[in-house]
Amino acid sequence: MSNRNGSQPTAVQFCYENINGSCIKTSYSPGPRVILYLVFAFGAVLAVLGNLLVMISILHFKQLHSPANFLIASLAFADFLVGATVMPFSIVRSVESCWYFGEGYCKFHSSFDGSFCYSSIFHLCFISIDRYIAITDPLVYPTKFTLTVSILCILFSWILALTYSFSIFYTGVNDDGLEELVSALSCVGGCQIAMNQTWVLIDFLLFFIPTLVMIILYCKIFLVAKQQARKIESVSSKTKSSSQSYKARVSKRERKAATTLGIAVIAFVLSWFPYFIETIIDAFLGFITPTYIYEILVWVAYNNSAMNPLIYAFFYPWFRKAIKLIVTGKVFRGHSSTIDLFSEQNKI
């Protein structure tokens, strides 16, 4: 994400006081400054620790080894990297209004930022396809969404996202036609990454098209799930056979998984959609968005990386049990990977 310097204060301060061409620094008073650091740092720590717990849970416990869960673990890795490699530097940039990490790392940071965002949305799109097949065609689902398919989806999500983001920023096509603006914004201690109208629209389409696919699929999923629930209730009232009871539990589990992941999709869209709209408005209206609005939208988007573990913890009893086992150190005991996370309930 780009950095925008605020308006010149009464007592002018610079990012580098002894360097000509330094960017102007917008300082907060000590109280708000400490509060901002604490709030931003809390989001980063939550993103790192929460997603680390998701990854450890899925990779350690054999009961959670499935093609769908490996996709979720890879999504958690993208969010983990946002918290570990993007947010810490952005905290300093946002609070100090200066970039102290060098021009070279500015592009690298922006490339990471875009890569992890698009990797997340591609993962979520593939997860929605997985849930759609699991709900609408459960009998053939195990043969359609195999481990190989899951790995291919993960590789596609990462390779496309990394290639797209790094190629844009390192070829410089993002600021074609904006040379005068870039020159005017250039100063020591800044990290301005301008996006022209063409690439802003491409960025938005890469966000909007997968989002539209997810919305359509989840609408279909919930319609089918509703029909299935009615059929199960009808069958359950007529028979109490163990096979019917098992089918009912499996169907209920798949519906709950779809609901939980649907909420994760909604959280992602609500977090990132305002930012993408702002970038379009900015590009077509001459970059007029006030700095504070930009910073708010950026941090709303960043903090989405901390949301998914909270959603899983709220809806998945098995995840809460896994967290307890990890935090108490019981995962270091022999055969801990074979612990039954569903022993206290027959549902996810």
pLDDT at 267: 92
Residue with tokens 């869960």: 69
Tell me which residue of 327, 343, 339, 253 sits closest to 61, measured CA to CA.
Answer: 339
Distances (CA, A) of 108 to 101, 156, 206, 209: 11, 21, 20, 26
pLDDT at 153: 97
Residue with tokens 């009961």: 63
Radius of gyration of the chain (CA): 23
**What is the Cα–Cα distance from 307 to 265, expressed in whole angstroms?**
11
271, HSE (Cβ side, Cα atoms, 13 Å): 20
Domain that holds residue 299: 13-338
Amino acid at 128: S
Model pLDDT, residue 60: 94
Confidence (pLDDT) at 251: 59
**What are the average pLDDT values for consecutive 10-residue runs of the chain, which has 348 residues?**
48 84 87 94 96 95 93 96 96 92 90 95 93 87 93 97 95 86 83 87 94 91 78 61 54 71 89 93 84 89 93 88 92 88 56
What is residue 245's predicted lDDT score, i.e. its pLDDT?
Answer: 56
Question: What angle in degrees, to the nearest 10, is found between the helix axes of 30-60 and 307-315?
Answer: 50
Q: Which amino acid is at 219?
A: C
pTM for this entry:
0.87
Q: How many domains does the chain have?
A: 1
Asked if 124 and 268 touch (Cβ cutoff 8 Å), the reply is yes
pLDDT at 2 (0 to 100): 47
Looking at residue 144, which CATH number applies to its domain? 1.20.1070.10
3-state SS, 35-81, equals HHHHHHHHHHHHHHHHHHHHHHHHHHCHHHCCHHHHHHHHHHHHHHH
In a domain? residue 6: no
Position 28 scores a pLDDT of: 84
Yes or no: say if 156 and 175 are a contact pair by the CB < 8 Å rule.
Answer: no
The beta-strand segments (E) located in the chain are 13-14, 24-25
With respect to residue 272, please indicate whether it lies within any of the assigned structural domains. Answer: yes
pLDDT value, residue 6: 47
CA pair distance 325, 257, nearest whole angstrom: 22
Within-domain flag for 308: yes
d(CA 51, CA 306): 7
At 235 the pLDDT is 63
Helices and strands counted in the chain (H then E): 12, 2
Is 96 a domain residue? yes
Cα–Cα distance between 92 and 100 in angstroms, integer? 8
Residue 132 lies in a domain: yes
